[in-house]
Chains A and B, each alone.
Chain A
Amino acid sequence: MRVVFKTSYDADLGLFVHRYQAFWYFLLLAAAVVLPFVMNDFWIGEVALMLIWAIAGMGLMLLVGHAGQPSLGHAAFMAVGAYTNVILQTSLGWPFLVSFPLSGCAAALAGALLALPTARLHGIYLAIATLAVSVLAEDGIVMLAPWTGGVSGIFAPDINIFGVGFNRYVNAPGFYWLTLGVAVLVVLGYRNILRSPLGRSLVAVRDSEVSAQAIGVNLAWTKAVAFALSCGVTGLAGALMGHFAGVFNHETFTIFLSITLLMMIVIGGLGSIHGAFLGAIVITFLPLVISIVREFLNERFGTASVMPPGIETAAFGAILIAFILLEPMGIYGRWVKIRTYFELFPFCRRDMFRRQRGYLRTERIR
């Protein structure tokens, strides 16, 4: 096990625990940057999609994993981001560099507006309220057809930054680097939130609303900030998703997308940035794996009925149930355990990882 000797308070304020950790993350980033030189355009597209999922996941993770507020409405905020971004570009002719941040702002505003009336709701009630938002969003898109194109959908123009085109098919590496840049910026912002008073106040609201108030945290305001940041980031992912899809309509951002996002961060591991990325990897590549397996089986046994259509959804569901039962901390939680096991080898005991019950948690005071 590596013991870190801390010699100043700044050691706890840095982005990395120690230099080796910094080294591995920079190596990962370097590998991500050179990826287009070793992969073909199809796979680069898939990795870009994975990054878009991860950005949306980080948005939801901040709200669910850190502020403890469940949301089943995040597809609606992806929609706000996607439509704002495209409408600003096509109707007003604004460049992507302006419309993209504004799409995040629009989603953030929508999130804050939702947080105000729902600040008093908890758990399942909040989930249901946000679920309603998801359902309403679909109708809203159809009703606002003059702007959104309604059922027939809307075309996302090619991203153009200072004359360079970032079409997903024409310039796949460019589009990938763009999403990578956004993802890295979101990760940095997220890390900064976690190491500052704002991040701590989110954790306070998640763990005990009663004592959060007792140390001066304004619950309604903190929840509104959490919703705004979360929905803003998810809105950015929505804008990128719009460009990735090329064309989208009310059926792109359905309640199923909201559920998929939530499943993604639970599978990845609630309460960590890694979890958003790991979940995104599962969500992006599971359908590919399933279709490869399906093809293989069809070839081998010459029957298409072995795997019925819709198997992807069923597989997600099965994986989710397995995780909730066996590893509630998600893939990241499992990884941390494996790492600890090897770091402490051979001193690791089974009981180290036994789940602890929350001790004496009461809401008696309410």
Chain B
Amino acid sequence: MSLLELEDVTISFGGLTAVESASFAVNPGEVFALVGPNGAGKSTIFNLVSRYCTPSGGDIRFEGKSLLGSAPHDIPRLGIARTFQNIELFEHATVLQNLLIGRHTHRRSNAISEILHLPGVREEERRHRLAAEKVIDFLDLQPYRESRIMGLPYGVRKIVELGRALAVEPKLLLLDEPASGLSAEETDDVAFWIEDIRNVMGITVLMVEHDMGLVSAVSDRVLALADGKTLVIGTPQEVQTDPAVIEAYIGLGDEGVDE
């Protein structure tokens, strides 16, 4: 059974159809990429899965159950974590605190026991901290542990946001342009991390990315979108050579969609 399934999903914003009958399924253990020119509706698909928007038609299923009855804050509890295209971190908190906030779905204590700081709360805090430290080690964030987000460079923020999503310990990770604005080396790091996230942590990845180099390096299947319409689903190779995709990226030359 596929992990995430979109069936005939359509949404429009005041006359503009941002996504038009999108249908695809992401299998467990897969890295699935969405590509397409600006305004194609890639982020909108993420927002539909996160339940920030409600489709006007179709259904979105996760592990066979429809997500349409869930509120946005229920989604991570089901096992879906995400990052944002325009980094959305907790600016006045430290990197460590951001990762710890990511543990919210694993909270077992209630407000009263926390106000009294009962022994169980402390025990739980240690476990959250251990999980956050694992993420810090994985992403090499040690130098920034106690830094506030406000003062951090763009590349580090991008990685902290990935870390916060990993702290959720999801089954499915949605990455919205994980490599945009990163240097070539940083992009290579991201490619390694995505492979490890899939192979070592066993997390399924659905990502939006413009960097075709990264897409071909890590993804199993690619869906190309333009103006909300699905053009083609296939391997990175197939998608890059598809005439309709090249057409959509017209002006980018003959080397396909590589930017």
Please give the residue numbers on chain A whose beta carbons come within 8 Å of chain B beta carbons, in ascending order: 9-10, 12-13, 189, 192-193, 195-201, 203-204, 206-208, 210-219, 225, 229, 271, 356, 358-362, 364-366
Bound state CA distance, A332 and B218, in angstroms?
49
Of all A-B residue pairs in the complex, the 7 with the closest CB atoms, nearest first, are A196-B114, A207-B90, A216-B76, A211-B88, A213-B72, A216-B105, A192-B117
In the complex, chain A residues whose CB is within 8 Å of the CB of B168? 215-216
Question: Looking at the complex, which one of A189, A212, A213, A358 makes contact with B91 (CB distance below 8 Å)?
Answer: A358
Q: Does B86 contact A (CB under 8 A)?
A: yes
Judged by a CB distance under 8 angstroms, whether B240 is at the interface is no
Q: Are A214 and B82 in contact (CB under 8 A)?
A: yes
Tell yes or no: B134 within 8 A of A by CB.
Answer: no
- Whether the pair A192, B114 counts as a contact (CB closer than 8 A) is yes
Contact B88 A10 (CB under 8 A): no
CB of B61 closer than 8 Å to a CB of A: no
Contact partner of B115 (CB less than 8 A), chosen from A193, A208, A271, is: A193
Q: A13-B125, A215-B101 are in contact. Are A356 and B88 (CB under 8 A)?
A: no
Given contacts A9-B130, A189-B116, 15 further A-B contacts (CB under 8 A): A192-B114, A197-B128, A198-B114, A200-B101, A204-B101, A206-B92, A210-B52, A211-B90, A214-B75, A214-B81, A215-B105, A216-B104, A217-B73, A358-B150, A365-B86
Contact status A215-B76, CB under 8 Å: yes
In the complex the two chains form, is A207's CB within 8 Å of B125's CB? no
CA distance A343 to B91 in the complex (A): 25
B154 touches A359 (CB 8 A): yes
B73 and A356: CB pair below 8 A? Answer: no
Q: How far is the CA of A135 from the CA of B87 in the complex (A)?
A: 40
* Residue contact B76 to A207, C-beta cutoff 8 Å: no
User: In the assembly, what is the distance between CA of A210 and CA of B86, in Å?
Assistant: 11
23 contacting pairs across A/B (C-beta < 8 A): A196-B114, A196-B117, A197-B103, A197-B104, A198-B115, A200-B104, A203-B90, A204-B90, A204-B101, A206-B92, A207-B90, A212-B101, A214-B50, A215-B104, A229-B111, A356-B151, A359-B157, A360-B86, A360-B154, A365-B43, A365-B47, A365-B52, A365-B88
Decide if A193 touches B114 in the complex (CB within 8 Å).
Answer: yes
Residues of B within 8 A of A361 (CB): 91
CB contacts (< 8 Å) of B97 on chain A: these are 200, 203
Give the dominant DSSP class at B's interface. helix
Closest to A209 in B: B88
In the complex, what distance in Å separates the CA atom of A197 from the CA atom of B105?
10
Q: Which residues of A contact B126 (CB under 8 A)?
A: 9-10, 13
B76, B125, B129: the one contacting A196 at CB < 8 Å is B125
Q: Judging by beta carbons under 8 Å apart, are A189 and B81 in contact?
A: no
Chain A residues positioned under 8 Å from B84 (CB to CB): 210-211, 214, 365
* Residues of A close to B133: CB separation below 8 A: 9
* Closest CB in chain B relative to A334 CB, distance in Å: 18
Bound complex: CA A225 to CA B125 (Å): 20
Q: How far is the CA of A102 from the CA of B69 in the complex (A)?
A: 39
**Nearest Cβ distance between residue A205 and chain B, in whole angstroms?**
10
- Chain B residues lying within 8 Å of A218, measured Cβ to Cβ, are 71, 73
A229 to B75, CA, bound (A): 27
Partner of A214, one of B72, B87, B107: B72
1/0 per residue, CB under 8 A from A, across B165-196: the answer is 00010000000000000000000000000000
Alpha-carbon distance between A21 and B1 when the two chains are bound, in angstroms: 57
Give the contacts of B86-102 with A (CB-CB under 8 A). 86-93, 97, 100-102
A106 to B: closest C-beta gap in Å: 18
Pick the residue among A192, A193, A215, A364 that contacts B86 (CB under 8 A). Answer: A364
Min distance, Cβ A5 to any Cβ of chain B, angstroms: 13
Q: Is the CB of A210 within 8 A of B88?
A: yes
Q: B137: shortest Cβ distance to chain A, in Å?
A: 14
Whether, in the assembled complex, B199 has its beta carbon less than 8 Å from a beta carbon of chain A, the answer is no
Q: How far is the CB of B128 from chain A (nearest CB, A)?
A: 8
A216 touching B100, Cβ below 8 Å: no
- Complex Cα distance A161/B133, Å? 49
Given known pairs A215-B101, A216-B105, A219-B73, the reply for A192 and B88 (CB within 8 Å) is no
Q: Name the residue on B nearest A225 (C-beta).
A: B111
Q: Shortest Cβ distance from A101 into chain B, in angstroms?
A: 14
Contacting residues, chain A, for B122 (C-beta < 8 A): 10, 13
Cβ of A196 and Cβ of B121 under 8 Å apart? yes
Partner of B89, one of A10, A189, A195, A211: A211
> Of B88, B104, B129, B130, which is in contact with the most chain A CB atoms at under 10 Å from its CB?
B88
- Which residues on A sit within 8 Å (CB–CB) of B157? 359
